[in-house]
Amino acid sequence: MLCSRWCLVTSCRLYSVVHDPNEKTFEKLLIANRGEIACRVIKTCKKMGIKTVAIYSDVDASAVHVKMADEAVCVGPAPTSKSYLNMDAIMEVIKKTRAQAVHPGYGFLSENKEFARCLASEGVTFIGPDTHAIQAMGDKIESKLLAKNAKVNTIPGFDGVVKDADEAVRIAREIGYPVMIKASAGGGGKGMRIAWDDEETREGFRFSSQEAASSFGDDRLLIEKFIDNPRHIEIQVLADKHGNALWLNERECSIQRRNQKVVEEAPSTFLDPETRRAMGEQAVALAKAVKYSSAGTVEFLVDSRKNFYFLEMNTRLQVEHPVTECITGLDLVQEMIRVAKGYPLRHKQADIPINGWAVECRVYAEDPYKSFGLPSIGKLSQYQEPLHLPSVRVDSGIQQGSDISIYYDPMISKLITYGSNRAEALKRMEEALDNYVIRGVTHNISLLREVIIHPRFVQGDISTKFLPEVYPDGFKGHKLTDLERRELLATAASLYVAEQLRSQRFLGTPRIPVAKSQRSSWELSVLLEDGVYPVAVSKNGLSFSVEVDGMKLNVTSEWNLASPLLSVTIDGTQRTVQRLSRNASGNTSIQFLGTMYKLQILTKVAAELSKYMPEKAAEDTSSVLRSPMPGTVVAVSVKPGDTVSEGQEICVIEAMKMQNSMPAAKTGKVKAVHCKVGDTVGEGDLLVELE
């Protein structure tokens, strides 16, 4: 029996690499990718004694994967079409370095049959399936037909290529709304739109085809029935070149925004053994039907009655593969390399366990308060992964000082926690998110933490519509209870006093030895979320007694103000908080329960005087359109003098290959246009003014 070895592995990597040194594979392998997945492949190659070659664009010259590899070669400038999708440049590197094999990771060229053909023609091994399987499963139209023939449950829809917007509307009407419009060669949520009427179908066709062309170089689209309120559950398969194929259990991937996964777990709370087996057997049947050989994923939509429908097959390693590794003990990258070399699988279906529970959160450089996550760019001024905690794995490709740019996916890392059961895995995830230090870019930790502690998620009551259903007005951060509000106020006040006391000391000695003894009590006024709260603080050793709302709380900590993490105990409850910023005006921001809160802490006298300070008038945002994210202007639909209606598209911004329509906030006449197609804009940049 295969045994999960997570407990024997250090907390940074919850998977096992049991390598037989007598089993020869490759001497040198090139990774045709970047970021965390390139680093992930390199780690396994090192364990297997395989030398690695990294490729990089000029903006990635100092990237972690470049430093980890034995060799690294630049393949072009930042745009993906000129670097990571530049097959000619990559083939030259392969010849130059004499790499015997290529691992494509995910995205980029991982499902590109022409790339696999080029490698085969040069005698270089592609770590993945053969070109027939890539073509058959990579094309959503062909894969659906093959799935039907393999007796796999499929979603009703149009099995051909949609020619134009008019045909899209006709097909959508025949199928019946709502429909899903998606790129035939796509994946990762790009080139996908849900349409509920004719107008949305036309708009969806336009955006999906543009995104598909930008991301995959293929603008073909298909349309199928949209299964409302489903779960997204996928089966990991592993097959060799000798006709053997296994299913490695399922992954629950229903928490999504813009059709991109945010939180994944294995196994699923929803599946019973019979449904799991049926899904697994259909996934294996499909793999065998196309003579699949490598790791792959068959994705299904599952309705409330546990009816499941084939969605697509990804002929590559999935982003969320770590949760499968955690519960099975298999290293999927190692298995892919073994299969590519021609070795048979080492395990039988009966050997595949479900040991414990694993949860993965995708940590993105995104602002979760804007459409559940619009991209953020910047330099990581401070970065600390929570690897000091037990059973925590972080797959990342960045470090302190790394840049998050507009050119690539905004993922910072994949944070994975493991437990003997789901409750333990979720508790560890909560702690890991609280202990994750990310400064310099906006991130989505607040959203991730709220998801995993939400009663519906904890109960397993989820679907792909979880986020819009739970947050119909958008994500607003953690809503403090009265007790949590008092805890935050007490913590902030204690931090303020600790800072004041530290500033009075120099090398452990009062600056003026003849001065009176230090104060032991303070009367403060704290502003939090439109409320002003009187707070009284008294010091007792390392503890502070804080009175808020007539209630006294005891706050204890080591008060190491230089540390990015501060462990605070409030009346016996331990909290990990982060003080993100502060200034001389008493303004401070604190990350508490995952969410950043802005507070102003003043002495009683300063608070009385502050009411005389003039307030800056807020900008009338209805008359201006500012970019909500950094990106590139790909379309401008108006010119000065045009009359626009509320909700009318003014321009389109592309960020990380996702296109976002910018609408007018009110009806009016265009006064000025401050951007043109091709411009690179930053968050908050002025795009258009209305009169």
Judge contact between 521 and 474, C-beta under 8 A.
no
Tell me: cis bond preceding 178? Omega within 30 of 0 counts.
yes
Strand order from edge to edge, sheet including 649-655? 658-663, 649-655, 631-636, 680-681
Tell me: cis bond preceding 410? Omega within 30 of 0 counts.
no
Whole-number Å distance between alpha carbons of 146 and 167: 24
Considering the candidates 299, 312, 360, 450, report the single residue annotated as catalytic: 312
Residues in the chain: 691
Q: Which residues pair with 378 in a beta bridge?
A: 404
Q: What is the 3-state secondary structure (H, E, C) of 103-145?
A: ECCCCCCCCCHHHHHHHHHCCCEECCCCHHHHHHHHCHHHHHH
Label the pairing between strands 587-592 and 573-582: antiparallel
Judge contact between 614 and 594, C-beta under 8 A.
no
360 carries an active-site annotation = no
Judge contact between 99 and 90, C-beta under 8 A.
no
Residue 231: DSSP 8-state: E
Whole-number Å distance between alpha carbons of 336 and 239: 9
Judge contact between 409 and 107, C-beta under 8 A.
yes
Whole-number Å distance between alpha carbons of 53 and 38: 10
Long-range own/partner contacts, residues 427-433 (CB < 8 A, 24 or more apart): 428/389, 428/390, 428/391, 428/392, 429/359, 429/361, 431/386, 431/389, 431/576, 432/386, 432/389, 432/392, 433/361, 433/386, 433/594
- SS3 state at 217: coil
Phi, psi (5° rounding) for residue 119?
A: -65, -45
**Which tokens is 192 given?**
């996908």
**Which tokens is 16 given?**
């096992």
Which residue numbers are catalytic? 312
